[in-house]
Amino acid sequence: MQHVESLYIHWPFCTSKCYYCDFVALEQHADFQDAYHETLLQEIIAYGASLGVKPSIKTIFIGGGTPSLYPPEKLHELFALLHKTFDLTQTSEITLEANPADVTEDRADAWESAGINRISCGVQVLDDAVLQRLNRRQRSIDVFNAAKILPKYFSNVSMDLIIGMPGVTDATWLKTIETLCAWPIQHLSIYFLTVHEKTPLYFKVQRGDLVLPDEDALLNLYEATVAYVASKGFMQYEISNFAQPGFASQHNIGYWQRRPYKGFGIGAASFDGAQRTVNDKNLTRYLDNGKTGSFIPLELETLTPQQITMERLMLSLRQASGMPLHDMLECVGEKQKNSLIASLRDLELIGLLRIENDHVRLTLRGMILENEVVLRLI
C-alpha cells in the first residue's frame, strides 16, 4: 500500500442544484451544515488515529456541492485539524471550488488566511439566460466581480467552463473565452457538457425542451477554443485543462497518474494504489457514522489487472503528454502486442492519435472520442 499524497474534502451543500449536476450535492439542507462539519472532523480524527505517522500531503482539494458556502470559522477549524493530523509543510496546492456569487472581499480574505492558495471558480458561460435555464445560481455580473476580487488574494486562479451547453451560440461562447483570457487568471478548465441520466437536464433533453449542439459543430468549436487559448498562453495539458506555464493542477495530475488519495465527506472516494473505496452518499447515514465513530465505506473495489490496464490507458491518454509506447505494450500480453500495434496504426491513419518519439498521443479529435479510442486499443 502506498502512502496517501492528496486529500479530497467534500462539502455537499448548495443553495440550488444545477440541472446538469450528477455530484453528491444537497440543496435546501443548510440546517445540517454544523452537524456535517462536526462529522467531517470526526472522520478525519478517526482516520488520523489509524495512522502510525503523519503523512506528508502534497495537495488538498475542497469540492462539492458549493464549498464557497463553507462558513469561514468552520473552515479554519477544519484546517487546524488537518495540520494536527497531516504534515502540510510540503503542501504546494490547496484548492477551493467557488461559485462566483459567493466571492466577496471578506470571504476571499478568510480563504487565504485558512491556507487556501488556489481557487477554482465555476463560470460555465457568460450568458445569464442560459445559466437561468439550467438553474445555475450566479449571473455574469458575479463572475466579473469575482475576477476583480480573487487576483488580489490568490496568484493561482482557475475558471471552469462548460462547452456544449444548450442555447449557447458560437459567438457567445467565443466571447466568453476571449473575456476570460484577458483576466489575470492562470488556469482554465473547459469541460464537455455530460447529460447524466435522471438529472433534470436529461429529462428536459428527452422532452425536447432543450436541444444539444451538433457533434461536428461542437468539435469545430472545441478546436477553435483550444487554438485561441493557446495563443493567449494557456497550454493544453489534459483533455479539459489548460494552464499558463507552472500552473497545471497538481491535484488533478495526481488522479491521472493514479497516485493514492484520501477522501472525506459523503460520497468521497479514496484510492490506495490497489483498492478504491467510496463513502456513503446518504447524509443521515453519514451523520450516524459520526455518532459511532465508525466510518465504513459504502463501496470497496479491488481493481483487477484488466481494470488497472484500462485505467492506465484512459488516464495517460487524457493527458497531452500521452503514454510511452513501451508502457502501453507492457499493458498487454505477448499475444496481444501485434494486435495493439495494428490498432494504433489504424487509429493514426484516421487521425485520432499520433506516434512520435515512441510516445502515443491523442489528437484533438481523438481527445473528444477518447472512450472509443481506448475501447479500440483494448
Distance in angstroms (rounded) separating the CA atoms of residues 361 and 354: 6
Q: What is the mean pLDDT of the chain?
A: 92
DSSP tag of 378: -
* pTM of the predicted protein model: 0.93
DSSP reduced 3-state for 51: coil
Distance in angstroms (rounded) separating the CA atoms of residues 60 and 265: 14
Q: Tell me phi and psi for residue 106, to 5 degrees.
A: -65, -45
Of 31, 20, 230, give the one whose Cα is nearest residue 125. Answer: 20
Handedness of CA 118, 237, 227, 374 (dihedral sign): negative
Lowest mean pLDDT among 14-28, 186-200, 299-313, 336-350: 14-28
Cβ–Cβ under 8 Å, residues 67 and 120 = no
Distance in angstroms (rounded) separating the CA atoms of residues 257 and 58: 14
**So what's the pLDDT on residue 26?**
82
Distance in angstroms (rounded) separating the CA atoms of residues 235 and 186: 10
Of 88, 76, 7, give the one whose Cα is nearest residue 37. Answer: 76
DSSP reduced 3-state for 174: helix
Map out the domains of the chain as residue ranges: 6-256, 305-377
Name the pLDDT band for 58 (thresholds 50, 70, 90). Answer: very high
Name the helix (H) or strand (E) containing 247: none
Question: Does 3.30.1490.190 match the CATH number of domain 6-256?
Answer: no
Name the pLDDT band for 25 (thresholds 50, 70, 90). Answer: confident
Cβ–Cβ under 8 Å, residues 56 and 4 = no
Rg of the chain on CA atoms, in Å: 21
**So what's the pLDDT on residue 359?**
92
Cβ count within 10 A of residue 361:
18
Length of the chain, in residues: 378
CATH number of 305-377: 1.10.10
| Digit-coded pLDDT (tens) for 211-267 | 888 888 888 999 999 999 999 999 999 999 999 999 999 999 999 999 999 999 999
| Digit-coded pLDDT (tens) for 68-112 | 999 999 999 999 999 999 999 999 999 999 999 999 999 999 999
Q: Tell me phi and psi for residue 349, to 5 degrees.
A: -65, -35
DSSP 261-295: EEEESTT-EEE-SSEEEE----HHHHHHHHHHT--
Domain 6-256 and domain 305-377 have a common topology: no
Cα–Cα distances in angstroms (integers) from residue 4 to residues 41, 87, 267, 277, in the given order = 18, 11, 18, 14
- Determine the average pLDDT of the residues in 55-70: 95
| Digit-coded pLDDT (tens) for 129-185 | 988 888 888 899 999 999 999 999 999 999 999 998 888 999 999 999 999 999 999
